[in-house]
Amino acid sequence: MKLVRYGEAGRERPGLLDAGGRVRDLSGVIDDVGGRWLLPAALEMLRGIDPATLPAVEGTPRLGAPVGNVGKLVCIGLNYADHADEMNLPRPDKPVVFMKATSSICGPNDDILIPPGSEKTDWEVELGIVIGAPARFVTPGKALAHVAGYTIVQDVSERDWQQNEGGQWVKAKSSDTFGPVGPWLVTADEVPDPQALDIWLEVNGTRMQDGNTATMIFGVAEVVAHISRFMTLEPGDVIATGTPPGVGVGRTPQVFYKPGDRVRLGISGLGEQAATLVRDPR
């Protein structure tokens, strides 16, 4: 099942994709995609609905982030060995956990704003985990039972702020639009092995990142279990699991986003994002 949120920014409605890829309106069934509607019983109820009985959405609506009112956006850093190498950083022996402000979340195809003063805005395509059942001190063997599904997250990052502004990475990761999510939430039953997904990103048609989730240092189950030791993961929380090599700061010479760039990224079975980079006028 593929769940979406569509419509004007800030006023998105819940929906799902039918077998033909058309958006069907779920607003007569649930009030949003998120929170209690991602609990296992709620997802089972939604699976029992015949999409043909739901109103079809005309045209090609804007897609918002497929999860509403995200409580936490938790990120894992340096989770691909070859990405750690390109950053000239040691490969971690435990997951590197940091937070990204939820105010950075935007739709998968919305413009990405280069903030005032930024000259090193960079890309990172990541597998996103969406929590379905509360997780607190879970073991890796039971962690996947707490996952509602998967999506795509672009962890947009300002490298000068990350490296030279002091403190934690959150400052470099949390500008408005630095967290495109979507296009949809694919429920876990449709992703039999989250460690076997091709993951890629292109800028202006040039392939920059090309990897597979099999090369993660810490897989999905271990990531969920590890984070749940330090905070309760709740339905609708999103975890960005790290990026493969090919980021702009790791290239020679370094390359960063500039106004007018077009970025396209995807993960096998989870869809694609496509956005334009725009200089924030403020």
The answer to whether 239 and 151 have CB atoms below 8 angstroms apart is: no
Instruction: Give, in order, the Cα–Cα distances in Å from 43 to each of 49, 59, 71, 192.
Output: 10, 26, 19, 17
Q: Which fold would CATH assign to domain 65-279?
A: Fumarylacetoacetate hydrolase; domain 2 (3.90.850)
CA distance 201 to 264: 6
What is the per-residue pLDDT across 244-275, written as a single tens digit (0 to 9) for each? 999 999 999 999 999 999 999 999 999 999 99
What is the per-residue pLDDT across 125-156, written as a single tens digit (0 to 9) for each? 999 999 999 999 999 999 999 999 999 999 99
For 211-238, what is the mean pLDDT? Answer: 97
Predicted confidence at residue 25, as pLDDT, reads 98
SS3 of residue 232 by DSSP? coil
Q: Which two tokens stand for residue 226?
A: 């590890």
Question: What proportion of the chain, given as a percentage, has pLDDT over 70?
Answer: 100
What is the per-residue pLDDT across 163-191, written as a single tens digit (0 to 9) for each? 999 888 999 999 999 999 999 999 999 99
Under DSSP, the state recorded for 178 is: -
Instruction: Give, in order, the Cα–Cα distances in Å from 77 to each of 24, 97, 117, 223, 273.
Output: 36, 6, 24, 11, 21
Q: Which two tokens stand for residue 272?
A: 């694609």
Q: Quick one: CA dihedral 35, 271, 149, 53, positive or negative?
A: positive
For 189-201, what is the mean pLDDT? Answer: 98
Predicted confidence at residue 229, as pLDDT, reads 98
Query: In the block, which residue shows the tokens 């292109």?
Result: 202
How many other CB atoms are there within 10 angstroms of residue 192's CB atom? 8
The answer to whether 275 and 110 have CB atoms below 8 angstroms apart is: yes
CA distance 38 to 55: 21
Predicted confidence at residue 83, as pLDDT, reads 87
What is the per-residue pLDDT across 49-101, written as a single tens digit (0 to 9) for each? 999 999 999 999 999 999 999 999 999 999 998 888 888 888 899 999 999 99
Q: Which residue type occupies 189?
A: D
The domain limits of the chain are 65-279
Question: What proportion of the chain, given as a percentage, has pLDDT over 90?
Answer: 94
CA distance 78 to 88: 10
Q: Which two tokens stand for residue 170?
A: 């959150």
CA distance 5 to 13: 5
CA distance 121 to 277: 10
Predicted confidence at residue 97, as pLDDT, reads 97
How many other CB atoms are there within 10 angstroms of residue 222's CB atom? 17
Distance, CA of 243 to chain centre: 11
Predicted confidence at residue 166, as pLDDT, reads 87
CA distance 38 to 218: 24
Burial of 137 (C-beta count, 10 Å sphere; 0-12/13-18/19+): exposed
Predicted confidence at residue 88, as pLDDT, reads 83
